[in-house]
Structure 1
Amino acid sequence: MKRIVIIVVVIVVALGAIAYVLTNNKKKNQEKTDFVAQGNGAIAVNVATITKTVPELDFSANGTFAPNQELNFLSENAGRVKAIYVQEGARVSKGQVLAKIDAEIINTDRETAEATYQNALKDEARYKSSYETGGVTQQQLDQAKLATQNAKLRLQASQRRLSDANIKSPINGIVNKKYIEVGAFVTAQGTQLFELVDVSKLKLQVNVNESQVANLRVGDKVAIQSSVFPKDKFTGKVSFIAAKADGALNFPIEIEVANNINNSLKAGMYGTAVFDFPTQTASILIPRTSFVGSVSSNQVFVYDKTSNTAKTRSVVSGRILGDKVEILSGLNEGETVITSGQINLVDGTPVSIVK
């Protein structure tokens, strides 16, 4: 019996809640109907009064620092590592020897190539002497010259391999990773030896939207801030602006940043680029939603106070600044532009302003 009473109570409460929601919705709909009736069938719209405003172009963007140069250094010769002259974290200069490959086999190849080249020179000299006396043909002499040239090229290649046994840094930078040890065997197919990075200059990589990228140019100077070093001041300049937006409709840009004397900034740290533009001249800005369809239509509705109607107006739009659009001509200060409800409007439609 008690269970039945509980079920009945629950049902009554549920029916009461449904009745309350329906009554509340009916009341709201009635209020909307009364509003339209008071406006004699006029379309309810939102409006904005047109004034001249100074556009705010300054903005900041967050990103991460990347090294100016980053190189995964690979082996070019096969052999056993004979010596390593640097450790991780060491600062190196371009041309500095980092490690050495055992050059015994490479040196043997060079000596063989040297002997072959010297023998080819002697053969060419003999053929040349015989040709002058009619002992050999021009074709035989040409073949001797070709053999000399090929031997010379092989000698040059072996000398280059011998020189490459001393593994030299191709850039100025820091040894970030060392992948080899003394005694390890490396192949000519490209065994990874070192990871070198140059952080004397860094690239701050950030994304900006379409309204922001329109005001940027390669070479623009930018102030850079780092939360890790809030007291240090860094400067950079825009070195790259993407010609195409990414999937999120943002444009990747890169800012070249000079590190301080201690190379405090590290690749992978977060940074903030502060874009500071000169003060702009005041201009007419209207909400982006004021346009009929889209900004490219260059048409808006202006509220006529004397007749309480919407009037179509053609305008010339300029820069898109966030949710505002610059108007170059077609509107004047003090006029009222309709910002919503345009889908129900035609020229001369009666309107009521939503307060």
Structure 2
Amino acid sequence: MKKKGIITVLSVVVVLFLIGWVLQNNKKKNAETTAVVASGNSGAVTVKTEKVTKTDIDLDFSSNGTFLANQDLTLSAENSGRVTRVLVDEGARVSKGQIVARIDNELLSVDVETAQASYQNALRDLERYESSFKTGGVTQQQLDNARLNVRTLQARVQAAARKSSDANIKAPISGIVNKRFIEQGSYVNPGAQLFEIVDVNKLKLKVTANEGQVVNLKLGDRVMIKSSVFPQSSFSGKVSFIAPKADNSLNFPVEVEVSNTAGGQLKAGMYGTAVFDFPQQAPALTVPRTAFIGSVNSNKVFVLNENKAEERNVTAGRILGERVEILEGLKDGETVITSGQINLVNGTEVQAVK
């Protein structure tokens, strides 16, 4: 029994010795590896850089869109009745106020005559009341009611006459009849569609501009318009609307008014391209947008100064696509860090790579 106990103790001692030797050996190897890594690495953070120089500023851009009619409306019936005449067809050019159809106004004429007769009768009653009031035959209230009745019936006459005149359907705008929804002899109710009239003497080209482009636009700017349907022709337009708010894609809707009087070549629904041409700009200092710490709004960049990162406050100007104009804070020939800023603080040692 004593012999077995001695063997067990010796076995434990041997195992502990072996474990200690393995741990010591691993520690030595790790130390050697660390020493090798340390000897080959200076601790500098790897970054990309770019030299600050003056570059030409090009504000010109183009944007595609769709032509829309200057005015496009559907003329509807205001009264019920049977269509007795249709005076225009699809494709006809009409002027504002021109009669385009007539609705049977026999019942409307009866309403006018009835209202007119009631009005004349009320006038005679008013005369009698005014005469009787002078002799004390009627009260002031009865006289006032008679006067109110006259005014009410007079308004009824005007309304009936207006409805009767509405039997002549008139074009509310000048343009071209794009669709005709009625036929002679058909019966229409109030609100029924009669004609679709489109004014294409002027068109609107709806395009978009991003935040860097829209700041250079103003109402009235002249714009050259191109159309793939007429590649040899160009059209003149002017900016008529600039949205004060961006859409869901963070672009700003812009409308360009285009004159289409020369032959009416352009049609609503065609595609077009607005070419925005700006005067030549003086060269300016620019840096990539990626040079800014966080975002352009931070107005902070890192400048490479003797292999160290120096935080610098700058004043950003116009955003020109992927580059940003620098108004103050940098000089021509300095070097800015364009990537790796997340690992930097002021004074960090850096190593620039291509």
Q: Scaled by the length of structure 1, what TM-score is found?
A: 0.87
- State the shift of 1:35 in Å: 11
- State the shift of 1:134 in Å: 1.8
Q: CA RMSD in A?
A: 1.5
Q: 2:52, 2:285 within 8 Å by CA — same for their partners in 1?
A: yes
SS of the residue corresponding to residue 271 of structure 1 reads strand
Distance 1:103-1:245 versus aligned 2 partners, 3 A rule: same
2:71 and 2:241 map into 1 onto residues whose CA distance is 15
2:325 and 2:121 map into 1 onto residues whose CA distance is 82
Task: Name the counterpart of 1:238.
Answer: 239
Q: Structure 2: which 5+ runs fail to align?
A: 1-35
> What are the Cα deviations for residues 193-230 of structure 1, in whole angstroms up to 9, with x where unaligned?
11111000011000111101111111111111111122
2:232 and 2:147 map into 1 onto residues whose CA distance is 70
Give the length in aligned residue pairs.
Answer: 319
Q: Mapping of 1:87-126 within 5 angstroms?
A: 87-126=89-128
1:99 and 1:185 map into 2 onto residues whose CA distance is 13
- State the shift of 1:39 in Å: 5.5
1:233 and 1:310 map into 2 onto residues whose CA distance is 52
The alignment status of 1:347 with 2:346, answered yes or no, reads yes
Q: 1:36, 1:44 within 8 Å by CA — same for their partners in 2?
A: no
2:130 and 2:171 map into 1 onto residues whose CA distance is 45
Distance 1:85-1:141 versus aligned 2 partners, 3 A rule: same
Question: Which one-letter code corresponds to 1:299 in the other structure?
Answer: K
Structure 1, 222-231 or 190-199: larger mean CA deviation: 222-231
1:234 and 1:36 map into 2 onto residues whose CA distance is 69
Q: 1:43, 1:352 within 8 Å by CA — same for their partners in 2?
A: yes
Q: 1:207, 1:253 within 8 Å by CA — same for their partners in 2?
A: yes
1:257 and 1:38 map into 2 onto residues whose CA distance is 68
Task: Name the counterpart of 2:307.
Answer: 308
Task: Name the counterpart of 1:200.
Answer: 201
Q: Structure 1: which 5+ runs fail to align?
A: 1-33
Q: 2:202, 2:261 within 8 Å by CA — same for their partners in 1?
A: no
- State the shift of 1:308 in Å: 1.5
1:38 and 1:168 map into 2 onto residues whose CA distance is 90
Question: Which one-letter code corresponds to 2:265 in the other structure?
Answer: S
Q: Mapping of 1:137-148 within 5 angstroms?
A: 137-148=139-150
Q: Mapping of 1:66-215 within 5 angstroms?
A: 66-188=68-190, 190-215=191-216
SS of the residue corresponding to residue 266 of structure 1 reads coil
The alignment status of 1:48 with 2:68, answered yes or no, reads no
Task: Name the counterpart of 1:327.
Answer: 326
Q: 1:46, 1:354 within 8 Å by CA — same for their partners in 2?
A: yes
Distance 1:94-1:35 versus aligned 2 partners, 3 A rule: farther
1:77 and 1:347 map into 2 onto residues whose CA distance is 79
Higher Cα radius of gyration: 2
Task: Name the counterpart of 1:337.
Answer: 336
SS of the residue corresponding to residue 232 of structure 1 reads strand
% same residue: 60
Task: Name the counterpart of 2:66.
Answer: 64
2:76 and 2:41 map into 1 onto residues whose CA distance is 79
Task: Name the counterpart of 1:18.
Answer: none
- State the shift of 1:48 in Å: 0.6
Q: Scaled by the length of structure 2, what TM-score is found?
A: 0.88
> What are the Cα deviations for residues 11-54 of structure 1, in whole angstroms up to 9, with x where unaligned?
xxxxxxxxxxxxxxxxxxxxxxx999756221111111111012
Structure 1, 216-225 or 96-105: larger mean CA deviation: 216-225
- State the shift of 1:317 in Å: 0.8
Distance 1:37-1:96 versus aligned 2 partners, 3 A rule: farther
Question: Which one-letter code corresponds to 1:193 in the other structure?
Answer: L
List structure 1 segments (4+ residues) > 4 angstroms apart after TM superposition: 34-39
- State the shift of 1:71 in Å: 0.7
